[in-house]
Chain A
């Protein structure tokens, strides 16, 4: 792979091992297009009806358009942009969940993700079962999950609720557990999408501090957030996405200032929310 792609792609002159490259993430000309049928739910019945009428309504949404960037190891990078700018789509693609329509994403290191929907998959399973299943799904062994479980439960501070089905959780409790799982996976690269938003003020402070601790540990972090204060205070650099493109990349303060000006936020000074 390394030799072949190096010869085919003049830009890739490095070996694809975590230690030998300066990059943690490398994105080349990435485009992601959603092709969605307009009906609410795709069904056989509707397909037959459509066949009868010989029509097929498909809408293409170009969520990410020809984006290229690199993230060096140990950098904390923020991603800002208005709703629908393509931030979550970009993060999902980098996590290997959505397929790229064009271009290429290379990841050098073990990834832990905290995406907008949080941990957990099955409401009828307990928090504990969900944590174990999530860890195994992410590729850990049973022993590795068991070793991390204590720390996860402790950080989430959910007490007995860890043994309760997750459908009994409030959305804040959901968020706490999700955050706790993501940061305790000891990843090389941590990707977080809107994570600090659901907890109460105390937990938000706590997770903010934890994030700061992680940025100090030479971890690579990609943080998508509408909380401009957390972008400013946690991130070295920031990317501003607009309509699927990167419209700016610079140090965090510069990008946040420009973005705020674009949004015409009236209040100056503090970015209040984290």
Chain B
């Protein structure tokens, strides 16, 4: 029997006709899956909106916190670098640090919130049939909403340290989009893994910390000695933060190699993450 439902509206999640049967290749029919996902977009936005509201995102103090938190984090790391190097690296370095740190946090919050998205979706998953991909996507949307105010913080730093405003700044838009897409793909991996390994969220903060320290955030990529370069090249954050740094801090068009690597990481991760998640999502209801 075919696992493909081709009749109009005949997919698992919408319309008037539903077939449920074991998926032969472990994946549902992708066309109808994504159609159903698209049909649930209002749910995605409402879920993000409600969650943010529950976290006081819409109050003045809540928004102040969203700005204060990254600023303080930036100051902490700037101080750390100052002490370790026994001296300052100048104001441009502060801009670099803030920008890279905020972009990194877009990924790391996507990953950590994503990890909790499915397991925390408990009742919703046990009671309602819908494409589960909504849940990690919502985490990413939420992380992005939290990232936006930090852009304003960065803008202030950018002007304050006297960096010019050039056309090359526009490169930041596609690069941030790639970073978000990459974060979404990574969130799908952690969301799925958390179902099988409930202690993943215990390990995740250590992993993120190491990732932060090995990414060109607290240092410039050029500072990395040759023998440590391979580590840098394996890190997906390197091409992404690197291009962002070129475009925003140095005011130049990022080199093609970095852009291509960023694109490859983002596309590869989102495809692999999506397929991995979808192939497992039917089990979630049993395993929660």
Binding site for B on A (CB under 8 A): 1-2, 4-5, 8-9, 16-18, 34-36, 41-45, 47, 92-111, 113, 115, 117-122, 124-125, 129, 132-134, 136-139, 141-142, 188
Q: Is the CB of A97 within 8 A of B128?
A: yes
| Known contacts A16-B7, A96-B12, A139-B39; is-contact A133 B50 (Cβ 8 Å) | yes
- Please give, as numbers and ranges, the residues of chain A lying within 8 Å of B68 by CB-CB distance: none
Give B284 Cβ to nearest chain A Cβ, in Å.
10
Cα of A118 to Cα of B195 in the assembled complex, Å:
22
Cα of A106 to Cα of B16 in the assembled complex, Å:
11
Can you list 12 A-B contacts (CB < 8 A)? Answer: A8-B2, A16-B10, A35-B286, A42-B197, A97-B126, A99-B283, A99-B286, A104-B20, A105-B19, A118-B127, A136-B42, A142-B46
Q: Is the CB of A108 within 8 A of B16?
A: yes
Q: Is the CB of B21 within 8 A of A104?
A: yes
Q: Is the CB of A132 within 8 A of B46?
A: yes
- Interface mask (B194-205 → A, CB under 8 Å = 1, otherwise 0): 011111100100
- B164 at interface by CB-CB < 8 Å: no
Interface hub of A8, A113, A121 (most chain B Cβ within 10 A): A121
- B275 at interface by CB-CB < 8 Å: no
Q: Is the CB of B20 within 8 A of A139?
A: no
Q: Is the CB of B126 within 8 A of A117?
A: yes
Q: Which of B10, B129, B195 contacts A96 (CB 8 A)?
A: B129
Interface hub of A16, A35, A93, A102 (most chain B Cβ within 10 A): A16
Q: Is the CB of A44 within 8 A of B199?
A: yes
- Please give, as numbers and ranges, the residues of chain A lying within 8 Å of B198 by CB-CB distance: 41-43
| Known contacts A16-B10, A107-B18, A133-B47; is-contact A95 B5 (Cβ 8 Å) | no
Q: Is the CB of A105 within 8 A of B21?
A: yes
- Please give, as numbers and ranges, the residues of chain A lying within 8 Å of B21 by CB-CB distance: 100, 103-105
- B85 at interface by CB-CB < 8 Å: no
- B17 at interface by CB-CB < 8 Å: yes
Give A180 Cβ to nearest chain B Cβ, in Å.
15
Cα of A92 to Cα of B123 in the assembled complex, Å:
13
Q: Which of A18, A98, A121 contacts B17 (CB 8 A)?
A: A18
Identify 7 new A-B residue pairs, CB closer than 8 A, beyond the known A1-B7, A93-B20, A122-B123: A5-B19, A35-B286, A97-B126, A104-B19, A107-B19, A124-B54, A134-B127
Q: Which of A4, A34, A121 contacts B124 (CB 8 A)?
A: A121
Chain B residues numbered 66-125 whose CB sits less than 8 Å from any CB in chain A? 121-125
| Known contacts A93-B20, A99-B23, A121-B122; is-contact A34 B286 (Cβ 8 Å) | yes
Cα of A99 to Cα of B66 in the assembled complex, Å:
41
A-B complex: 4 closest residue pairs judged by Cβ atoms: A96-B129, A121-B124, A136-B43, A99-B282
- Interface mask (B216-240 → A, CB under 8 Å = 1, otherwise 0): 0000000000000000000000000
Give A173 Cβ to nearest chain B Cβ, in Å.
16
Give B89 Cβ to nearest chain A Cβ, in Å.
39
Q: Is the CB of B40 within 8 A of A1?
A: no
Cα of A109 to Cα of B130 in the assembled complex, Å:
16
Cα of A102 to Cα of B1 in the assembled complex, Å:
11
- B208 at interface by CB-CB < 8 Å: no
Give B207 Cβ to nearest chain A Cβ, in Å.
12
- Please give, as numbers and ranges, the residues of chain A lying within 8 Å of B285 by CB-CB distance: 92, 97-99
- B274 at interface by CB-CB < 8 Å: no
Interface hub of A2, A9, A134, A139 (most chain B Cβ within 10 A): A139
Q: Which of A45, A117, A120 contacts B199 (CB 8 A)?
A: A45
Q: Is the CB of A1 within 8 A of B5?
A: yes
Give B244 Cβ to nearest chain A Cβ, in Å.
33
| Known contacts A1-B7, A109-B16; is-contact A138 B128 (Cβ 8 Å) | yes
- Please give, as numbers and ranges, the residues of chain A lying within 8 Å of B124 by CB-CB distance: 121-122, 133, 137
Q: Is the CB of B128 within 8 A of A134?
A: yes
Cα of A17 to Cα of B16 in the assembled complex, Å:
7
Chain B residues numbered 1-60 whose CB sits less than 8 Å from any CB in chain A? 1-2, 4-7, 10, 12-14, 16-23, 36, 39-40, 42-43, 46-47, 50, 54
